[in-house]
Structure 1
Amino acid sequence: MEQRPFGRPGSALAREVSVVGLGTWQLGADWGDVSEADARAVLEASAEAGVTFYDTADVYGDGRSEQIVGRFLADHADDGFTVVTKMGRRVDQVPDNYVLASFRDWLDRSRRNLGVDTIDLVQLHCPPSEVIDDDATYDALDQLVADGVIAGYGVSVETCAQALSAITRPGVQSVQIILNAFRLKPLDEVLPAAAEAGVAIIARVPLASGLLSGRYDESTTFAPDDHRTYNRDGSAFDVGETFSGVDYRTGVAAAAEFTGLVRSALGDEVTPAQAAIAWCWQQPGVTTVIPGARNPEQARANAAAGLLDPLPAELLDGVRAIYDRHLREAIHPRW
């Protein structure tokens, strides 16, 4: 699988990572029950398929995801994997909580969970805009780099405005943002700005919470503890994280068009999910895309999307047409 530079050139974090990584939210919580054995099988299948980049967070299963990833990492200590985590969502998201003392406490817990002395990269986990815009935030993070607690830091964001603010900070190594065929706004300014600054882009929610797999219809139901059930109205966290903020019925209709587009442009050899993942990593400025997986077959299929040839213009133009027709008016102004 293609490897791309991650982190600003010349930084201590600079390395290469696979264009398709693995997001491990599913392995911790909020997507229905996943056993540790199943979670480990997903991680191993991804590694065998060439994935070298793994994204987790302290809030996924309240540390369960980090612990599972940590045990996996210990068994692959010489394989050159990059494991990144996130912090800040286990407490109220208010600026007063985003201070050096809190960062130290959170990261000490994450280091224990991951079984490492130095975390490759920590990301602020969708903090308030005031935190992203505050000089003191980066002073604290720089101190943690100097202390060897982390090798580098980035910011996971909800909006393009937050991404653009973070990219201006010289110590920020990466920005994680929702980017998929139903969320095109980052293409306008965020990806070009990140490329200019040498900041890595981690594209998350590439399948719009599964909509772009083409497997759902209006009668599909999800488990009560799945965020696609309990967060459709954004009552638990930003609604943009669930189906990319797309109204479910609208999303199902748009996804059916996307599936037809993939079949027309690529035939039956490429699944809609693989086309959606390839669409993400093939956007100029994207470093890696982090689909999740709940079983080894899904993990292998996702990784195979990192091997696809450049997508044809028919598909690229069709994605924009679907977005403009069904989604732009509701989605573009919000995030």
Structure 2
Amino acid sequence: MQYRTLGKTGWRISEISLGTWQVGGRWGSPFNEKTAAHTLRAALDGGINFIDTADVYSEGLSERAVGNVLKECREEVYVATKCGRQIQPHVTEGYTPAALTKYVEDSLKRLQRDTIDLVQLHCPPTPVYDRPEIFETFERLQEQGKIRHLGVSVEKIAEAQKAIEYPNVATVQIIFNMFRLRPADDFFPQAKDKNVGVIVRVPLASGLLAGKMTNNTVFDPDDHRNFNRNGEAFDKGETFSGVPYGQGLEAVEALKKIFPEGELAAWALRWVLMFPEVSTVIPGASHAEQVVSNVHAAELPAISQEQLQAVRNVYDRYIRASVHTLW
């Protein structure tokens, strides 16, 4: 495993880390505590020292699983969680200093920690970024020793650009993958200038870039890949990166011609790591074997300039018109 600096935090974190949205169970299936523990331990065994969770993942069970495993861990592991999505309806008026403070305190209990390394606003409504008092709330939480750093998880590049105007924003978590190229052009240079860490999520476009889905693939009724393709429950960019499913399948077939057969998922992760502004990429995993496969991606050789251009050509042909201006 290689390690990169996470922006102004100064931490050296694993370039492939672990996102825990579906840890302990696939999307749409029940949480399994034992599977979650095995998955988390596989991440630690693979050299991962940065784990990303959220208070809403499996209604807090993801945070509890992380806390239970890490309390037995002697190595230094950085824990990032997120808050804000509990607010329903999810509108800017629901974001108050009191509510956010309580969410952080509840996460501290579930994670069994005195201090949370990184707390991230969890894709808040865009107007929240124009409210300095929200960002000041986390300054007070830092002063109280409850958190070490503040970050944001965003849907849109414009939100990321606004967020990093606040000096206490240390990291930005953003969707970036072979189907979402715009952050490299319109945000990464700004993040570098402000020494903001970039955490890449949804690197496999909800599994589409694993290259195993077909028109006949059936998703569980409770799987967001079934019910959120048009943004019925939350931003549609979180599901297949906002790419129409059939169109994405065509693009995947074109990508398979660029990389060795059977390894598209690993190459998709390696592609993300070709961008030096990226601090870490956080693919999810529902079982330990997926973690091992993800870690393997960091060991692949560098992608050639010809292959990088070929990926961009696929994006321009199949994807750009559908997603480029939306996020």
Give me the TM-score of the superposition, normalised by structure 1.
Answer: 0.94
Gaps of 5+ in 2: none
> For residue 245 of structure 1, what is the aligned residue in structure 2?
242
Matched, 1:90 2:86: yes
Structure 2 residue 304 is matched with structure 1 residue 312: yes
Check the 8 A contact 1:29/1:60 in 2, yes or no: no
DSSP 3-state at the match of 2:258: helix
Summarize deviations over 1:177-206 as a string: whole Å, max 9, x none.
000000001011211111111100000000
Instruction: Find out whether 1:194 has 2:206 as its counterpart.
Output: no
Question: What displacement does 1:29 show?
Answer: 6.6
Matching of residue 39 in structure 1 with residue 41 in structure 2:
no
Instruction: State the shift of 1:32 in Å.
Output: 2.8
Task: Name 2:295's counterpart in structure 1.
Answer: 303
Normalised by the length of structure 2, the TM-score is: 0.96
- Provide the aligned C-alpha RMSD in A: 1.3
- Rounded Cα–Cα distance in structure 1 between residues aligned with 2:25 and 2:97: 28
* Residues 1:257 and 2:254 are matched in the alignment: yes
Pair 1:18 & 2:14 matched:
yes
**The 10-residue stretch of structure 1 (96-105 or 22-31) with the greater mean CA deviation from structure 2:** 22-31
Task: Report how far residue 104 of structure 1 moved.
Answer: 1.3
Cα distance in 2 for partners of 1:31, 1:61 equals 10
CA shift, 1:307, in A, is 2.1
Residue 108 of structure 1 and its aligned partner are, at CA, apart by 1.1
Q: What is the alpha-carbon distance in structure 2 between the residues aligned to residue 133 and residue 29 of structure 1? A: 36
- Secondary structure (helix, strand or coil) at the match of 1:154 reads strand
- Superposed CA deviations along residues 104-153 of structure 1, whole A, max 9, x for unmatched, are 11011101110001100000000011111221121111111111111011
1:6/1:14 contact within 8 Å kept:
yes
Unpaired segments of 5 or more residues in structure 1?
Answer: none
Are the counterparts in 1 of residues 139 and 168 from structure 2 also a CA contact under 8 Å? Answer: yes
Q: 1:114 aligns with which of 111, 115, 123?
A: 111
State, as a whole percentage, how many aligned pairs show the same letter. 43
Q: Take 1:99 and 1:51, find their aligned partners in 2: how far apart are those partners?
A: 34
Instruction: State the alpha-carbon separation in 2 of the partners of residues 99 and 143 from structure 1.
Output: 14
Conservation of the 8 A alpha-carbon contact between 1:179 and 1:206: yes
Q: Evaluate the alpha carbon distance shift between residue 204 and residue 40 of structure 1 in structure 2; reply closer, same or farther with a 3 A threshold.
A: same
Which 4+ residue blocks in structure 1 deviate beyond 3 angstroms?
none
CA contact (8 A) 1:212 1:272 kept: yes
Alignment of 1:261-300 (within 5 A): 261-263=258-260, 268=261, 271-300=263-292
SS at 1:161 equivalent:
helix
Residue by residue, what CA displacement relative to the aligned partner does 1:144-170 show, whole Å, maximum 9, x if unpaired?
A: 111111101100000000011112211
Partners in 1 of 2:194 and 2:298 — Cα distance? 25
Counterpart CA distance in 2 for 1:190 and 1:134 is: 21
* Aligned counterpart, 2:59: 62
Number of the residue aligned with 1:2: 2
Tell me the SS of whatever aligns to 2:301: coil
For residues 257 and 37 of structure 1, what CA distance do their matches in structure 2 show?
38
Counting matched residue pairs gives 325
* 1:149 alignment partner in structure 2: 146
Aligned to 2:100: 103
